[in-house]
Chain A
Amino acid sequence: MKCTRCKKTAAVALPRHNAGFCPECYGVFFSRQVEKAIKERELFSKEDKILIALSGGKDSLALARELQLLGYNIAGLHIDLAIPGSSVKARGHVERFCSDFGVDLHVLEMENEGMPIPEVRKKFNRPVCSVCGRIKRYYFNRFAMDNGFNVLATGHNLDDEAARLFSNVMRWDAAYLGAQGPDLPGDQGFVRKVKPLYRVSEFETANYSFLAKIDYCYAPCPYSKGASFTFYKSLLDELENEQPGRKLSFYEGFLNRGRQAFARIDQEDGEKLCPCPRCGYPTTGEICGVCRIREIMHH
């Protein structure tokens, strides 16, 4: 297969774009997809101070590298979850990346916050992924708010977003559907959240990271086995294989023609936010979810 742009031997084949790219031209393709997402959805500008959630995986590191190359004002935040055999490796990848590419890095340790994930896991009778996700979202938001960042960027890609949309549709969860998208505005204690990789697939970020010589962590989280999103992703992979381009049209169709309706329902019927009396960050209940987890950990 030849590169669609320069006719050299292609390194990456992309059926959904009916194209192939050599390593040099693939970088151009990837940059254009990210820039298109930023411009079309007005995600942020060069004036914004952007905090990137860095897990050490291919997506978050690819995002940091690309936004750095595009000239945005970025810094990274890594949350060390204290999972044996996993967190030390992930943190090592993030630290090496930030040192090699000159990205400012902040690290928060859940051990110091009294919530190491293995201990949290012992206290809850349900999959730890949702609790862990809640804790990470809380601390990413709180760190951004406390440290003057006005945008929080995550490495969620098209596969993540399409699988999440599929999951929300399966449950017809109006509140989640109304709040899903690559551009969630900042409001009432929440920093603006953006997902600049929503147009590129997991396969595309993996290729980008490999070609950009990013030493990323590809070992899965030991606690994530059997997560429902992994199953939804494999279903959507089958669909994409039969109908290239279907994932993006499913997700963009929702953004352009479905999301507003669900957002309206949620505005009318959804729960209202108020500050948590303990930490001051927004909650729909009396005490926010993370303060409740902290309370359970102390008992």
Chain B
Amino acid sequence: MQILIEPENQWATIDKATTVLNLLKELELRPNQALVIRDGELLTPDRKVGPQENITVRKIASRG
């Protein structure tokens, strides 16, 4: 699965994760540290994700 990580605008490929929670763990993020977006929709940590999907992970901590 292709992951766009914002605000860095970096791409990552993660194949092991089957849920949003697993995906965030792979990225070493807590569920309250990022929005997870698929096709313009927000996903909660329990939602399933698949290997063919494009997902955006937008970190939320503001700096300055």
Write the nearest CB–CB distance from B51 to chain A, whole angstroms: 22
Q: Known interface pairs A203-B33, A237-B30. Does A13 touch B62 (Cβ–Cβ under 8 Å)?
A: no
Per-position contact with B for A195-207: 1 when CB-CB < 8 Å, else 0?
0000001110011
CB pair A218–B7 under 8 Å, yes or no, is yes
Q: Please name all residues of chain A whose beta carbon is closer than 8 Å to the beta carbon of B43 when the two chains form the complex.
A: 11
Per-position contact with A for B17-60: 1 when CB-CB < 8 Å, else 0?
00000000000001111010100011111110000000000101
CB contact between A227 and one of B35, B41, B44, B63 (< 8 Å): that residue: B63
CB contact between B61 and one of A1, A23, A233 (< 8 Å): that residue: A233
CB pair A11–B44 under 8 Å, yes or no, is yes
Interface size class of B (residues with CB under 8 A): 20 to 34
Per the bound structure, the CA–CA distance linking A15 and B46 in Å amounts to: 12
CB pair B35–A210 under 8 Å, yes or no, is yes
Q: Which of B42, B47, B64 has the most C-beta atoms of chain A within 10 angstroms of its own C-beta?
A: B64
CB pair A1–B62 under 8 Å, yes or no, is no
Per the bound structure, the CA–CA distance linking A241 and B21 in Å amounts to: 13
Within 8 A of B (CB), among A1-40: 1, 10-13, 15, 20, 23
Q: Which residue of B lies closest to A16 (CB)?
A: B32
Q: A250 contacts the other chain (Cβ, under 8 Å)?
A: no
Q: Which residue of B lies closest to A211 (CB)?
A: B42
Q: Which residue of B lies closest to A20 (CB)?
A: B44
Q: Please name all residues of chain A whose beta carbon is closer than 8 Å to the beta carbon of B15 when the two chains form the complex.
A: none
Per the bound structure, the CA–CA distance linking A230 and B42 in Å amounts to: 25
Number of interface residues of A (CB under 8 A): 36
Q: Please name all residues of chain A whose beta carbon is closer than 8 Å to the beta carbon of B6 when the two chains form the complex.
A: 218
Q: Which of B35, B47, B58 has the most C-beta atoms of chain A within 10 angstroms of its own C-beta?
A: B35
CB contact between A210 and one of B32, B42, B46, B63 (< 8 Å): that residue: B42
Q: Please name all residues of chain A whose beta carbon is closer than 8 Å to the beta carbon of B46 when the two chains form the complex.
A: 1, 13
Q: A257 contacts the other chain (Cβ, under 8 Å)?
A: no
CB pair A202–B30 under 8 Å, yes or no, is no
Within 8 A of B (CB), among A179-236: 201-203, 206-207, 210-211, 218-221, 223-225, 227, 230, 233-234
Q: A178 contacts the other chain (Cβ, under 8 Å)?
A: no
Per the bound structure, the CA–CA distance linking A210 and B43 in Å amounts to: 12
Per the bound structure, the CA–CA distance linking A203 and B44 in Å amounts to: 12
CB pair A230–B35 under 8 Å, yes or no, is no
Per the bound structure, the CA–CA distance linking A13 and B31 in Å amounts to: 9
Per the bound structure, the CA–CA distance linking A240 and B61 in Å amounts to: 14
CB pair B32–A240 under 8 Å, yes or no, is yes
CB pair B42–A207 under 8 Å, yes or no, is yes
Which A residues contact B (CB, under 8 angstroms)? 1, 10-13, 15, 20, 23, 57-59, 129, 132, 159, 201-203, 206-207, 210-211, 218-221, 223-225, 227, 230, 233-234, 237-238, 240-241
Task: Given A211-B42, A220-B62, A230-B61, output 6 extra A-B contacts at Cβ < 8 Å.
Answer: A13-B31, A57-B62, A202-B62, A203-B60, A206-B60, A219-B7
Closest 4 CB pairs of A and B: A221-B64, A224-B64, A220-B63, A206-B60
